[in-house]
Amino acid sequence: MSKLRSVVLLAALLAIAAGQTKVLLYDFEARGVDASVIRTTTQLLRDALNGTYKYIVVDPAPGTFCYNVVAAAESAKAYSAAQALIGNIMTIGGKQFLTYQLVDAATSAVLIADKITTPEMDEYPVMAGRIARSIVEREPYGETAEPEVMTTAEVEPKFKHPRKPYAGVFLSAGYLFTMQPRQFSYQDSTGTHKADMATNLVNLNMAVSFETQQLLTMLQLGLLRGKHSEQDLAFDLMGNYVMGNGDFAPFVGGGIGVTRYSWVSHGVTLHNDGMSLSAGAGMLGLRTYYFRMLLAAYGNLTIASNDWDGVPTSTLVPGIRVMFGVSTPSLGPDATVKMHPACVGSAIGGFFLTGLIIALTS
């Protein structure tokens, strides 16, 4: 049994090793920085690359250096490595910058290159890990930022916050264009009449939201009002995939919920209800600030229950809903951080604009 375990373990190790790439790692060039910084950086990069299990770091002969792309490719071949990693750390105007290049040994092509501002020394392990990820995934250093692996310079910009998990409350206003008529009554000189009405509704929504880097969820309660005494209630659970990492990021998603219809016909208040499905897209703004702005459009399809205007079967009620809203400051991890007056002013302005939209469309 122990022999079998040893064979399985050996086979697993061989499989891992077979998928690893050898990379020749030279000490970075020092330009106005202490040699100890270079040694520390090289060691951290060596550990980070080996820790990816995608690379095996090959060290050159002691005392050898290489800062040229073509020479690095030739040296990598001499050491039987498929790639070489070279770079430098320089001081300019009191700031330190690190440049790195990953070179293909066979073609001398630069596979990935970037230049970054170095963080505080105690955050060099974070920087090294992100450089390793940049190399493995062939993406710029800035694209490797995540809430748990961001340096102080990134998480404390002058007016902004990192994209930590965010929890808040959205207040939004909009319009629902429905395509299913309801009956209402009206009077003229000939008496009381019954007619179908095309119901377009002003809606005011409040949603509890939770946002991560790529996901926006909202538990939303909506009040929908119309000119024929409609007073509908909609309760929806929405899930959206957020694309991009900037302050303004598009999203797509959908949801499921229930809608309670209420309207007046012949002086009598009628009710109906049904399950709602929705799908749509929108834009999420100011993602690194204390609050969010939202612009979205969703297509709705409600499966209304029996006896809709005298029809004894379930009825499909399609519609298109557009909405604009702003959120409260975060109720989550960043809630206790001091807010800049510009952020507060923008939030108040957004709430005022939302109220103005409601007043003008009601």
Helix (H/G/I), strand (E/B), else coil: 258: strand
The pLDDT tens digits of the residues spanning 110-130 come to 999 999 888 888 889 989 989
pLDDT number for residue 83: 94
Q: Could you tell me if residue 3 is inside a domain?
A: no
* Residue 224: pLDDT over 50: yes
Q: Could you tell me if residue 6 is inside a domain?
A: no
Confidence of residue 351 (pLDDT cuts 50, 70, 90): low
pLDDT number for residue 70: 92
Stretch 271-289: mean pLDDT: 85
> Parallel, antiparallel, or unpaired for β 83-92 and 21-25?
parallel
Question: Could you tell me the two tokens for 235?
Answer: 């309760």
- Out of 155, 189, 211, a domain closes at 155
E strand or H helix at 30: strand 29-31
Confidence of residue 219 (pLDDT cuts 50, 70, 90): confident
Angle at 182 between CA 176 and CA 184, to 5 degrees: 120
The pLDDT tens digits of the residues spanning 299-318 come to 988 887 755 555 545 577 78
pLDDT number for residue 238: 92
Same domain, 234 and 349: yes
**Nearest CA-CA partner of 271 in 327, 231, 220, 311:** 231
Q: Name the residue with higher pLDDT: 56 or 146.
A: 56
Q: Which alpha helices (DSSP H) does 85-185 contain, by range?
A: 124-137, 152-155
CB 343 within 8 A of CB 291: yes
Q: CATH number for the domain including 49?
A: 3.40.50.10070
- Out of 155, 174, 199, a domain closes at 155
Same domain, 69 and 112: yes
The rounded Cα 354 to chain-centroid distance in angstroms is 24
CA-CA distance, 231 to 323, in Å (whole number)? Answer: 18
CB 129 within 8 A of CB 118: no
- Out of 123, 155, 187, a domain closes at 155
Q: CATH number for the domain including 352?
A: 2.40.160.20
**Nearest CA-CA partner of 214 in 244, 238, 256, 254:** 244
Same domain, 20 and 66: yes
| C-alpha neighbours within 13 Å on the C-beta side of residue 116 | 24
Same domain, 207 and 74: no
CA-CA distance, 289 to 166, in Å (whole number)? Answer: 10
Helix (H/G/I), strand (E/B), else coil: 172: strand
Question: Could you tell me the two tokens for 209?
Answer: 């939201």
Q: Secondary structure of 330-350 in the HEC alphabet?
A: CCCCCCCCCCCHHHHHHHHHH
Same domain, 124 and 212: no
pLDDT number for residue 189: 67
Same domain, 347 and 215: yes
CA-CA distance, 56 to 158, in Å (whole number)? Answer: 40
Lowest pLDDT segment from 162-176, 215-229, 235-249 = 162-176
Q: Could you tell me if residue 40 is inside a domain?
A: yes
Total domains, the chain:
2
Same domain, 60 and 209: no
* Residue 212: pLDDT over 90: no
CA-CA distance, 226 to 20, in Å (whole number)? Answer: 65
Same domain, 174 and 323: yes
pLDDT number for residue 151: 65
Same domain, 151 and 186: no
* Residue 198: pLDDT over 80: no
CA-CA distance, 17 to 287, in Å (whole number)? Answer: 41
94: Cβ–Cβ under 8 A, 6 or more apart, which residues? Answer: none
Q: What is the dihedral of CA 181, 183, 184, 187, to 10 degrees?
A: 110
Compute the chain's Rg from CA coordinates.
Answer: 30
pLDDT number for residue 161: 45
How are the residues of the chain apportioned to helix, strand and coil, as percentages rounded to the nearest 5? 25, 45, 30
The pLDDT tens digits of the residues spanning 161-197 come to 445 567 778 888 888 887 776 665 556 667 666 666 6
Single-letter amino acid, residue 135: I
Stretch 74-85: mean pLDDT: 92
Question: Could you tell me the two tokens for 350?
Answer: 């957004």
Same domain, 182 and 146: no
Q: Name the residue with higher pLDDT: 291 or 81.
A: 81
pLDDT number for residue 15: 42
Please give the residue range of the domain that contains residue 95. Answer: 15-155
Q: Could you tell me if residue 8 is inside a domain?
A: no
Same domain, 148 and 273: no
Same domain, 135 and 267: no
